[in-house]
Amino acid sequence: MSKPFLISHLESNDYPWGEISTSMVELEATCRNHKDRTDTLQVPRNHWYEYVKGAYVQDVFPYLSPQGREVIISQRMPYAYLCEECWNQLGEEE
């Protein structure tokens, strides 16, 4: 599999959107508390592009877990990602 596209590579209007066939894109997100902990997620490439073009994560990826959606969202806010363990700790502190 080729390396995942970075979001900055997708903002050009001349990107050949119509030529992209359905395949999987792999996304990575590194926990902001655990620098050595990276979660990966594979989603259909055409769904990923819908999100990049401005659709809401919950509309494009209704089948993902909340944690999976965090990986998606973190592609736009790479320093905001928390791994599942950190999310669970947040819950316990309340």
Q: According to CB under 5 A, which one of 9, 17, 33, 77 is a site residue for Zn ion? A: 33
- Report if residue 86 touches Zn ion, rule: CB under 5 A: yes
Assess contact for 46 and 18: CB atoms under 8 A.
no
- The residue (of 47 and 74) whose beta carbon lies closer to Zn ion is 74
Q: What is the DSSP string of 38-77?
A: EEEEEEEHHHHHHHHTT--HHHH-TTS-HHHHHHHHHTTS
Q: According to CB under 5 A, which one of 34, 38, 58, 77 is a site residue for Zn ion? A: 34
Assess contact for 73 and 57: CB atoms under 8 A.
yes
- Report if residue 27 touches Zn ion, rule: CB under 5 A: no
Where do contacts with Zn ion occur on this chain (CB under 5 A)? Answer: 31, 33-34, 83, 86
